Structure 1
Amino acid sequence: MTAAMAPPQLVSVLVALLCVAAASPAGVGAARFVCNATAPRASTCQALVAYAPPNATTLAAVRALFQLRSHRALLASNGLPLSTPPSSPAPSPLRVRLPCLCSGGAGATFQRPTYRIRAGDTLDAIARGVFAGLVTYQDIAAANNVSDPNKIAVGQELWIPVPCSCDPVAGQPVVHYTYVVPPGASVAAIAQDFATTEATVLALNRMPDAKSLLAGQVLDVPLRACSSAISSTAIDRNLLVPNGSYILTANNCIMCGCSSYTWQLDCQPTQGISSSFCPASKCGDMFLGNTTTSPTSSCESTACSYAGYTNSTSFTILANLTTSSTCNAAAMSPMAQQAHSSAFRLASTWLRWTELIVCLHVIFLCVSFLNHV
């Protein structure tokens, strides 16, 4: 810009720059997942995190990075066979199950993962390089009371607060999935991939519209969980399993998977676990996981379903007979999650008017300033 530029030209340039700045989307910043669950046990849950290793690595290395208690847990989260060795290459992205704690209206992974600083590390390199953008360096600094991100010591242990949530969606329990948006992705494609709706993704992430999606953005994506017959008094009564994964429960004696065909939890005795350690579970003459078809209706089936486990007096695996209709299973659709769609259309309109008003104020201030020069 030269000193000879006339005031009207200066006004035009300033107005254009300031209006673009006011209307342009912000860069990818720290993600804060809403989590208002406060009831007993509701403020904690098991959430899933999508980890895309920046370099080729193994399942064992990922388990060590996130301090997972068992190799089996990592296999279960990704639907991999229990025979898969720890030295196997880690797929990308890899689902990592972590404990989530809600506090102050937001959720973060509880105590794990942690990271010990090495020579040459920076908070930004740890956030983007080691943990693949699941957090920002500001997240790490705030969680560990680091006042100056440039002053960290080798050997210092840091808590990595990955965002998560335990809240139900549209009144239904879900497993929240922390997902880093890859380049070229869209809200519509993400919603389709994870059997939810655009409106739900926008609402959960407080996005004004689908156009505001950015590569590298950390999204809260709800995964529908299968319903179950687990008793409200069982130790694992809050067990939630989404499609594409399974979980080991009852001291690893029971393997429960989620069927996208019936959306019912399908639990079987875990193969390879000693029968002397795991108590037998039966419904009369039927063993756990057995199914029979009704003699009067080919559409009706009765199953010996897993109902949880107790350990008050002795380790006991519970089971109940459940009846379901198999003919209507194919017509079952994923859970409708249309909540807040109209509210977000209104929010989008409100934001556009706000941007216009800001631009008009900028023009007024610029003209007033130049008139007094």
Structure 2
Amino acid sequence: MAARFLLLPFLVIFLVPPAAAANFTCLSRGRAARCQGLVGYTARNATNLAGVMTLFQIRSFRSLLAANDLPLSTPSSRSVPAGSTLRVRLSCSCSAGRGASAHRPLYRVVPGDNLDSISRNTFDGLVTYQEIAAANNISDPSLIQLGQEVYIPLPCSCDEVEGLPVVHYAHLVAAGSTVSGIAAEFGTKEETLMSLNGITDPKTLQAGQVLDVPLRVCSSAISNASLDSGLLVSNGSYILTANNCVRCSCSSSSWELDCHPTQGISSSVCPVATCKALSLGNSSSAVCESTTCAYAGYTNTSSFRILTNLTTQSLCNTAGAPAPQPSGGFSPGVEAQSLYLLLLYISLAMALLGWGS
């Protein structure tokens, strides 16, 4: 009888229908096959930011704050209520046409665990037990050991979408959600969302399904020679780069990367970044144009340097502007009218002369 009870947790794996596979297509190769992705984690039980950081083995607490647009002064003890969702930034690696988090997180098995409970309860259904088993070469999902470390292959991708760079966000579909509603929430098109996730009929969307949602990113002036040349920042978040010396955020009002020196970082650690008289992130305005000292990346070969670039934006709308007027108030319209009257007068005069002859 005891043996049956020992088997029960493992039988549940096969009796409860598994969540939909969360594999994300990723066809990128070479340097483009590595990037930063996001997953949306909804806490089943109340926890705090430190607990989320530990679960996902996030190396930098600032990364968790940045992904959720939280102030850098936020303490790790800040509570995360049950049911609330946090964005977790992860390193993504693409191989064999699929994307998965690069080697992390690793989860240590505790009493009462099985691969299905780890999938559903611990990691909120972002990955299936079949995917965990395959990633760890576990032939029998019921055979896991206490204390065993298993790699959790969270879904991600580095591919461009419709020819544009994006940040791929793993979104867990909530009950009552629709494809059109999710598309509107994240600022993408319904057709794009369906195509990316292989959805032919929006009515087939299911609660618990993991969707690959492409988040638009801000354009930037970062040089291809920079160590962070692939930096992608989506709306509603920021990233610390250049050894944490620069904070770059993305605003949907301009869709231009906005970078400034990170507040609270010692000036002895971070080199000064300027464009002549302008400091990084500052602007000066003149007639019909604004010049900004934009972030252009950083190098760390012979010495650590923050690169900058002056960018100019036009402030005047010249599309409907009137043609410049000559000095003295001369008007092309008046000239044409005068010429017409003169020709009419000459024609009448010639007609009268002809009649009189």
Q: Give the TM-score taking structure 2 as reference length.
A: 0.82
Tell me the alpha carbon deviations over residues 243-295 of structure 1, each in whole angstroms, 9 at most, x when there is no partner: 0000000000000000110000000000000001100011011000111112x
Of 42, 51, 74, which aligns to 1:61? 51
Tell me the alpha carbon deviations over residues 328-357 of structure 1, each in whole angstroms, 9 at most, x when there is no partner: 8xxxxxxxxxxxxxxxxxxxxxxxxxxxxx
Q: How does 1:1-373 map to 2 (within 5 A)?
A: 28-38=19-29, 40-90=30-80, 92-294=84-286, 296-297=287-288, 300-325=289-314
Tell me the alpha carbon deviations over residues 59-90 of structure 1, each in whole angstroms, 9 at most, x when there is no partner: 00000011111111100000000010000012
Bigger drift between 82-91 and 58-67 goes to: 82-91
Structure 2 unaligned runs (5+)? 1-16, 318-357
How far 1:27 moved relative to its partner?
7.1
How far 1:163 moved relative to its partner?
1.1
How far 1:203 moved relative to its partner?
0.6
How far 1:147 moved relative to its partner?
1.1
Give the Cα separation in 2 of the matches to 1:271 and 1:326: 29
Calculate percent identity across the aligned residue pairs.
60
Tell me the alpha carbon deviations over residues 23-57 of structure 1, each in whole angstroms, 9 at most, x when there is no partner: xxx9742122110001x310010000100011111
* Amino acid aligned to 2:206: L
Tell me the alpha carbon deviations over residues 127-183 of structure 1, each in whole angstroms, 9 at most, x when there is no partner: 000000001111111111111111110011000011110000111100000110011
* Amino acid aligned to 2:135: A
Q: Is the 8 A contact 1:201 1:220 kept in 2?
A: yes
* Amino acid aligned to 2:181: A
Q: Is the 8 A contact 1:28 1:214 kept in 2?
A: no
Structure 1 unaligned runs (5+)? 1-25, 329-373
> Which fold has the larger relative contact order, with Cα–Cα distance below 8 Å and residues 6 or more apart in sequence?
1
Give the Cα separation in 2 of the matches to 1:86 and 1:110: 24
Residues 327 and 178 of structure 1: CA distance in aligned 2, closer, same or farther (over 3 Å): farther
Q: Is the 8 A contact 1:182 1:215 kept in 2?
A: yes
**Equivalent position SS for 1:41:** helix
Give the Cα separation in 2 of the matches to 1:320 and 1:125: 51
Q: Is the 8 A contact 1:49 1:179 kept in 2?
A: yes
Q: Give the TM-score taking structure 1 as reference length.
A: 0.78
* Amino acid aligned to 2:203: K
Q: What is the Cα-based RMSD across aligned positions, in Å? A: 1.3
Give the Cα separation in 1 of the matches to 2:316 and 2:133: 54
How far 1:325 moved relative to its partner?
3.7
